[in-house]
Amino acid sequence: MGSVKDLQIIQEPTPLSMGKGLFVFSDRYSVFDWGEMPDSIEHKGAALCLMGAYCFEQLEKLGVKTHYRGLVSSEGKAVRVSDLSESTNIMDVALVNVYKPETSVVNNKVTHDYSQYTTSLKNYLIPLEIIYRNGLPEGSSVFKQLTQGKVTSADLGLDHQPQPGETLNDPIFDVSTKLEETDRYIAWSEAQKIAGLTDDELAEIKSVLLKADETITRAALNVGLKNEDGKIELAFDEKRQLMIVDVLGTLDECRFTFDGVHVSKEVARQYYKKTAWYNDLEQAKKAAEIKGIQDWKLLCKSQPPKLDPKLKTIISQMYMSVANEMSGKALFNSPKLPEVIDDYKSFMSEKV
């Protein structure tokens, strides 16, 4: 399935009908599109599974269609969050088809053919990551895009140059590619074109994104977290009805903060940004773009190091504490989040 979770297919989807499958959330993690990193974070998979299930169930109460079918208990039955007596890392989901764009290299530039996506296609994953931004914390990709000149403040609907830590009056909706070798931020007009969307469908996508944003914000408040930004993935079912797929509302899909402190995968990102490997990675991506090479990892001069053992424990506790407090189910043996945050602050002060 990917670098973080595996997919067990029970029934393959067809062009006209959805399939059945199981997401098996692992303790693996990934940063900067690298894929599987050299170590794992204990209990991360089960914590992600619980967070995602909770948010799916809250969305269902609002009438938002999703591919979520329940959590798989130790007895092998699909159950709701309220029925859980122990954690699980397995989620029951409906499956759609995934059609990857055809990739070629023309004049040393990688190009992608999305012509198979039309307004009549059904039962497929929309090849986009749909992003909301309620704030612009340190580490937000917006600042990198601004520095590189890929977007302007006006493009973001802002009348000023944003600063790290800024809270937005209204959320910004952003979009990137999903099925390319590296996620690429694009304009909504290009997103509509490559995904084969009508004007009404594009408007519906933004409406669903807002409902997801508001639902995740409420879930985060259960933990005292601020929902800074996050992403969802969408698909059309066999009737071309929009539904949320993959998973949402987790520390991997969202950027949360607690009194200004990151509580998400961003903690690992910030750690790795200070390593020599990160510099090699950035150089490799730039060189691959210039040379028209699809697999930029082949150009990376080094491999990622393992996480600091103490930090890895702290990150594990972050995932477990948030899962407990977001869902209202004390399924993980972990300190309360404020205590974990204090440990993280101590760790960071030792590294200065």
For the chain, which residues make up each domain, given as ranges? 5-351
What pTM did the predictor assign?
0.91
pLDDT at 1 over 70: no
Report the mean per-residue pLDDT for the chain.
93
Residues 207-250 have pLDDT tens digits of 999 999 999 999 999 999 999 999 999 999 999 999 999 999 99
CATH of domain 5-351: 3.30.470.20
Diameter of the chain measured on Cα atoms: 58
Res. 139 pLDDT band, cuts 50 70 90: confident
Nearest Cα to Cα of residue 311 among 256, 262, 259: 262
How high is the pLDDT of residue 164?
86
Tokens of 332: 């993980």
How high is the pLDDT of residue 184?
87
Query: Are 265 and 31 contacting, i.e. CB atoms less than 8 angstroms apart?
Result: yes
Within 10 Å of residue 163's Cβ, how many Cβ atoms?
A: 9
What is the DSSP track for 135-155?
EE-TT-HHHHHHHTTSS-TTT
Within 10 Å of residue 273's Cβ, how many Cβ atoms?
A: 16
What whole-number distance in Å separates Cα of residue 337 and Cα of residue 68?
Answer: 27
Query: Are 256 and 225 contacting, i.e. CB atoms less than 8 angstroms apart?
Result: yes
